[in-house]
Amino acid sequence: MSASQSAVRSRAEAVKVSRMFDWFILWAVFWVVLGGYHIHYMLTGGDWDFWSDWKDRRLWVTVAPIVAITFPAAVQACLWYRYRLPFGAVVAVLGLLLGEWVNRYLNFWGWTYFPVNFVFPSQLLPSAIALDVILMLTGSMTATAVLGGMAWGLLFYPSNWAVIGPLHVPVEYNGMVMTLADLQGYHYVRTGTPEYIRMVEKGTLRTFGKDVAPVSAFFSAFVSIIIYFLWHFFGRWFSSTEFVKAA
């Protein structure tokens, strides 16, 4: 390419072309990250996310934030450290939520006929906003990992409380006490997922009674901090522009 030649005819065209590529990049990053994030999330925390009767006070609160902080950390590592764009976590989570909502409505409801109030996805946006705001205010990966990762885990249960609270109301059914969410699960039978593989409220943590959710959230926040560190560096590696020689 000759240095004397220009790719565009005017500054106005250069600006226009630059904006066009902004939209291209936004589209591609959004949908590809959505795809990668969604397949990761559905296969590491999906069962707790699919069904309201899996959304318990212990394992859902623990597992979902830990496996969900991965892609937001990686996307932040690219968008903030390369372009100073403070919305990596929100973009990733918006993509995940869109993919989930489309699926829950068109497939969980549209193909296998489970009601939407049994299969709604978990809410992650408040956690993502906190993660982005902390990164923007501190400009520090370490502070974001520690404070943001902590906030990510702790905010998860409160973010979902308004939706899941009514389904955790206890009911008596055939002489047994259970939650409304449990009752939904018994009525909407999933033949391929029998009751004995439902992982909810297992173990002695239940002896903590009302403290189960806060303890689980605190543990989740602790692991989220570590996962954030790890995935920040994954994100840096995935952002590299290295070329290798053909083998």
Partner 1 sequence: MAATTESVKTDAAEAPLLNKRNLILGVLLYVVFYAWVRWYEGVYGWSAGLDSFAPEFETYWMNFLYIEFVLEVTTAGILWGYLWKTRDRKVMSITPREELRRHTTHWVWLTCYATAIYYGASYFTEQDGTWHQTIVRDTDFTPSHIIEFYLSYPIYIITGFASFLYAKTRLPTYQQGLSLQYMVSVIGPFMILPNVGLNEWGHTFWFMEELFVAPLHYGFVFFGWAALGILGVVNTEVQALTKLLKKDLA
**Does position 27 bind partner 1 by CB under 8 A?**
yes
DSSP code at position 178? E
Among 53, 56, 58, 71, binds partner 1 (CB under 8 A): 71
**Which residues are bridge partners to 173 per DSSP?**
176
Type of residue at 197 = I
Q: 232 with 77: CB under 8 angstroms?
A: yes
Min CB(55)–partner 1 separation in Å: 14
Scanning 22-30, 125-133, 168-176, 211-219 for contacts with partner 1 by CB under 8 A, the matching segment is: 22-30
**Does position 120 bind partner 1 by CB under 8 A?**
no
**Does position 118 bind partner 1 by CB under 8 A?**
no
Among 53, 56, 100, 182, binds partner 1 (CB under 8 A): 100
Q: How many residues bind partner 1 (CB under 8 A)?
A: 74
Min CB(24)–partner 1 separation in Å: 4
**Does position 86 bind partner 1 by CB under 8 A?**
no
DSSP, residue by residue, 11-63: HHHHHHHHHHHHHHHHHHHHHHHHHHHHHHHHHHTHHHHH-GGG--SSHHHHH
Residues 167-196 that bind partner 1 (CB under 8 A): 190-194
**Does position 28 bind partner 1 by CB under 8 A?**
yes
Report how far residue 142's alpha carbon sits from residue 219's, in angstroms, rounded to the nearest whole number: 19
Scanning 40-48, 148-156, 178-186, 201-209 for contacts with partner 1 by CB under 8 A, the matching segment is: 40-48
**Residue 43, token pair as written in the block:** 């296969």
Report how far residue 230's alpha carbon sits from residue 74's, in angstroms, rounded to the nearest whole number: 9
Scanning 45-53, 127-135, 150-158, 166-174 for contacts with partner 1 by CB under 8 A, the matching segment is: 45-53
Type of residue at 216 = S
Closer Cβ to partner 1, 51 or 157, answer by number: 51
> Nearest CA to 62 among 166, 232, 205?
205
**Does position 219 bind partner 1 by CB under 8 A?**
no
Closer Cβ to partner 1, 120 or 150, answer by number: 120
Among 66, 68, 69, 74, binds partner 1 (CB under 8 A): 74
Among 177, 204, 207, 245, binds partner 1 (CB under 8 A): 245
**Does position 32 bind partner 1 by CB under 8 A?**
yes
Report how far residue 1's alpha carbon sits from residue 193's, in angstroms, rounded to the nearest whole number: 61
**86-101 b/e (C-beta count within 10 Å ≥ 16 → b):** bbbbbbbbbbbbebbe
